Structure 1
């Protein structure tokens, strides 16, 4: 039988089926305000899962409770919500207080190691952009957090409400000759250049050749602006949940 693995993020809920430590097929995603669609998709599964395992941040307590109520009512299964351990899934967390490390970050490292990508520099491009370095033995070297694309735009337009909001194009001019393109170029090229510099700094600080692994909702978009090759693993957190036996 299959497991249901769930990643309750800040803006979306991603899920997939998993078996034998691996995600089966592609993931699905819905917005937090569309739980009816999520539950309709689950109700159409050919059979109930054997287990429901997931990750959810403290800001998503309401969504977590709604999911638990649905799975308990329809499948008689209470979800197991994972928390960051000091050591787990082949990863030793560098934080002295492991609970301070987002569980999604730990799971992304578990997923990268299970996929044979360690040593790695793992970048999760979501509401926040997180970076974590993992060595070949599964030792977390630490990481950092910076604002994601949506957070950058929200912060700037909040401070300067006269500026327009922009969509995220697949390509944008550099330099730009109008304000919307200049904003998009700044967000996208600026983020990409920052990540390239951070990747270079990580490479300088470790004797191992690190694989740059990008995941998260904006990973594909940001990767187009990087002047280097990266490995895209859009379901890395789900892969990490699946890898835990």
Structure 2
């Protein structure tokens, strides 16, 4: 109880600290996440930073000695802007450097990543990664927002959400995905919703554990499945970055053709 007589509200948060991977996974967001980070530093002397698409991109390319590949990288232009083919998307929800078209955080790469996954799912349903091929399907959820700050937002929900006319119409109007529902096949079938800028996972459904002799074994099996999901998502993002910093022009042409508004 607090001094003024009010009761302190408590809430249990599931946390997985992956020491080998240097990551903490937690079912928390907003103020709760901030409080968790504060408690972690006070308790363990460990300072946490929220993972974002831009930070993960920097970590991956630097680990391959290609840190300069992200410098001055402009956001991809998937369709013409409302002002014509010379207009670049500005991703109004992503911080930018002053007087620059370049994202300061590079978190727009998360939006491009989700669109790349969506295109891969439509183009055959598989992505080759360093750990093997991952099959994927877009399902249940697509949240879109205009990268030019003009045509607003769409939230689409359906089992066959990618087949909804509003989905492709949204892309043709300059929108990009901010959240995407996915079914992944990688050592089992995973269902989840993936947010673009934070790469946060929500509504995750793990493969069933068929045999577990004790609750402890079941717990450890599920931890292994969670780690495999995180590893799979990291591998997919690394594959995207390999294309984004390499043969991106041909991939961009393919995505534009798929959307139905290739630049001329």
Is the TM-score greater than 0.5?
no
TM-score by length of 2: 0.30
Give the structure with the higher percent strand. 1
TM-score by length of 1: 0.32
| Higher-Rg member (1/2) | 2
